[in-house]
Amino acid sequence: MEWGKQEGAISADDRSASARLVFGLCFYGLVVVVALLWRTGVYGEAIVFASAADAAGTQNFLADFAVGVGVGLTLAGTSFLATTRSTWGKRLSTELATALGPLGLKRALVLAVASGIAEEMFFRGALQPRVGLGVASVLFAAAHFLPRRVLLPWTAFALVAGFMLGGLFEWTGNLVAPVTAHIVVNAINLPLLEYYFGKASRGS
């Protein structure tokens, strides 16, 4: 009997995780549509590039991808050290794991790719060419702000990451490096949140 209850609980968690994933994909899909309508529909510019000059120039997407991987690993490594070796970092991670809920590795990776692409298309591809690096980075941090003291380091990390990702966009002239870095960060951090802090957040 207990085994049957446990299986039912797992199925319920699975359905809840799938529902959260579907919601996330719908939300990020909407973000992509808004970004495309803004940069490409309104201004007639290619959203992948930082400027018309970059679009007309020569791009080395493979090198930009490698740079993105390196920056993503650096950001993910820094955040991992902060969240596992400091009291405030552990509290932050537990809070984020609670908000995220159990997803499982596959769903976390899908969400990492979707969020990395959508957020970079909006904040860097659509917003930054209009308002500049500083404003776009501050707005990126504001999108990661919740009025709770324990979550303020998350906002601060998003501000630093926003400047780094925006700097990559301006330096390389395209979205390949910032999108790659963003996906790497989320693809590492989301599963780690659940693995290290998810059980504690659920009291198990």
Q: What is the pLDDT of residues 131-149, one digit of tens each?
A: 999 999 999 999 999 888 9
> Which of 149, 191, 175 shows the shortest CA–CA distance to 45?
175
Structural domain for 38, as ranges? 2-49+59-201
Residue 133 domain-assigned (yes or no)? yes
Chain mean pLDDT for the chain? 90
Over the stretch 99-142, which tens digit does the pLDDT of each residue have? 888 888 999 999 999 999 999 999 999 999 999 999 999 999 99
pLDDT for position 3: 36
pTM here is 0.90
Count up the domains in the chain and report the number.
Answer: 1
Please report, for residues 88, 92, 195, the alpha-carbon distance to residue 105 in angstroms, rounded to integers and kept in the order given: 25, 21, 9
Give the span between the Cα atoms of 176 and 57, in whole angstroms: 15
